[in-house]
Amino acid sequence: MAHDMTADGNEHPDVARYRAAAHGEARPDTLSAAFLRDLMHECGADDCGFVTVGNPAIADQQAWIGALLPGARSLVSFVCRMNRDTVRTSVRSVANEEFHQTYDEVNIIARKAVRRLEEMGIGAVNPAAAFPMEAQAYPAGMRVISHKPIAEAAGLGKMGLHRNVIHPRFGSFILLGTIVIDREIDTLSTALDYAPCLDCKLCVAACPVEAIGMDGSFNFSACYTHNYREFMGGFVDWVHQLVDSEDAEDYDRRVTPGESVSMWQSLSFKPGYKAAYCLSVCPAGSDVLGPFIEDRVEYRKRILDPLLAKPETVYVLKGSDAEESVPRRLKSKQTKIVDYNIPSDNPFGFLFGLTLTFQRRKARGVEATLALTISDHGPLAATVRVHGNRMEVEFKPPETPDAALTLDWKTLQAIFRDDVPLAAAIAEHGATLTGDIAAAEAIRNCFPIYRAAA
């Protein structure tokens, strides 16, 4: 009681007013889904769904959710529609502004809803729809919450080949938000029992770097290198170009005036996606599919062809599938080789990173297993296996490898990142190899060179 008193021993005025007010109304332990749905629509959301924190589909997010709101019990997932033709246009500054405006709208809606809940005495938190994130943790653990699996669990859609959530009505032209609350919800949503994706493969055709495979595979490094050129890793590469330049003339040889101004624009007015064409061409969703179903040829001419014909620079890694395919497939576009800048300070992260840079086309016909022993970390045993145009990394030795390579951590990076040949690693860096060196080389050739020559 001592903290409720003023210096003269009387009850603090605010405390007195609080005690005098009527606080007999019980705060609900369970919220009505109907009430929450009305609230989200009033705040501006186009659709929403409800998930318990204990849903197995989001089990890997428990720690982040608990950090966001201790005592969190439920999640409200919601969507905001984007204007379709504004996203589809080949004038990407216009499309990017639609993304940014809608992201702002998502955050405003979430903030309004949280304010309403707070006024009712309900604990609630609205993490950002995209950025800002916990960027100091880059490259690992940046996210605050992963909206896509929550939206799927809440019945707001399923991810298509392009790795975007497709809403059953609005299609791919949505952005996602999530609100964390400390109450149970009386009626939870259920995941969709079908996939809205039409399996038309237009997203495969639209991607300038062929990041999306016909078989559903995904080349993360291709998408990250080009589409996210002015985000994170691409920004780091630009900084490296800046500091490595001897003078202004050398900088201009490395970076064109248009690239410099584009980076300035991204720094000043939010980062611009270089493509996102996979989303632009998607015809899925009951509100969207009509023109595609009625005339597929005309749809392709109107939506897909302008994106493929657009003259632009496509950013690729040296030795990647995209470096080979873009000039052959898209005559209107020019390629520029850049560095891959997702750093890793340990072998575990680096070997996981290999799964992100694996090149499917380079792996055609390769069936090989490489045993790695990293001598100055444990030693650490690992297996890199390539088969069926896919690759796996396991942190244990294989039973029957085609080749076995023992080396230190620095030499491992040099081989897979800096293109040091295996023979040089053995002769000059102390690596030892047993078994079939051709099999080991075949595996190494399935990955691009991280660092382009200056």
- Average pLDDT for 79-93: 97
Confidence at residue 141, expressed as pLDDT on a 0 to 100 scale: 77
The predicted-structure confidence for 324-371, as pLDDT tens digits, reads as follows: 999 999 999 999 999 998 878 889 989 988 999 999 999 999 999 999
Categorize the per-residue pLDDT at 136 as very low, low, confident or very high, splitting at 50, 70 and 90: confident
The predicted-structure confidence for 396-432, as pLDDT tens digits, reads as follows: 999 899 999 999 999 999 998 888 899 999 999 999 9
* Residues 284, 386 within the same domain: no
- Average pLDDT for 427-451: 93
Q: Is the dihedral of CA 94, 98, 101, 104 positive or negative?
A: negative
* Residues 323, 259 within the same domain: yes
Query: What is this structure's pTM?
Result: 0.92
The predicted-structure confidence for 232-289, as pLDDT tens digits, reads as follows: 889 999 999 999 999 999 999 999 999 999 999 999 999 999 999 999 999 999 999 9
Confidence at residue 139, expressed as pLDDT on a 0 to 100 scale: 77
**Low-confidence winner among 135-139, 180-184, 413-417 (lowest mean pLDDT):** 135-139
Looking at the domain assignment, is residue 373 inside a domain? yes
Q: Which domain holds residue 297?
A: 202-337
Distance of CA 8 to the CA centre of its chain: 59
Looking at the domain assignment, is residue 450 inside a domain? no
* Residues 327, 253 within the same domain: yes
CATH of the domain at 376: 3.30.1050.10
Beta bridge partners of 77: 49, 178
Burial class (CB in 10 A: 0-12, 13-18, 19+), 399: exposed
Reduced to 3 states (helix: H, G, I; strand: E, B; else coil), residue 79 is strand
Confidence at residue 454, expressed as pLDDT on a 0 to 100 scale: 54
* Residues 58, 171 within the same domain: yes
* Residues 61, 84 within the same domain: yes
Distances (CA, A) of 250 to 230, 301, 313, 384: 21, 42, 20, 39
* Residues 297, 276 within the same domain: yes
* Residues 170, 241 within the same domain: no
Looking at the domain assignment, is residue 285 inside a domain? yes
Looking at the domain assignment, is residue 454 inside a domain? no
- Average pLDDT for 197-215: 96
Whether 277 and 245 have beta carbons less than 8 Å apart is answered as: no
Looking at the domain assignment, is residue 118 inside a domain? yes
Structural tokens at position 353: 């990173």
Looking at the domain assignment, is residue 192 inside a domain? no
Of 337, 362, 392, the domain-final residue: 337
* Residues 392, 304 within the same domain: no
Supply the mean pLDDT for the chain.
93
* Residues 81, 223 within the same domain: no
CATH of the domain at 162: 3.40.109
Confidence at residue 283, expressed as pLDDT on a 0 to 100 scale: 98
* Residues 254, 302 within the same domain: yes
* Residues 163, 251 within the same domain: no
pLDDT at 207 exceeding the cut of 60: yes
- Pairing of the two strands 30-31 and 184-185: parallel
Of 129, 151, 185, the domain-final residue: 185
Looking at the domain assignment, is residue 93 inside a domain? yes
Whole-angstrom Cα distance, residue 146 to residue 416? 30
Confidence at residue 4, expressed as pLDDT on a 0 to 100 scale: 74
Q: How many domains does the chain have?
A: 3
Looking at the domain assignment, is residue 307 inside a domain? yes
Whether 65 and 55 have beta carbons less than 8 Å apart is answered as: no
Of 185, 219, 248, the domain-final residue: 185
* Residues 409, 302 within the same domain: no
The predicted-structure confidence for 30-84, as pLDDT tens digits, reads as follows: 999 999 999 999 999 999 999 999 999 999 999 999 999 999 999 999 999 999 9
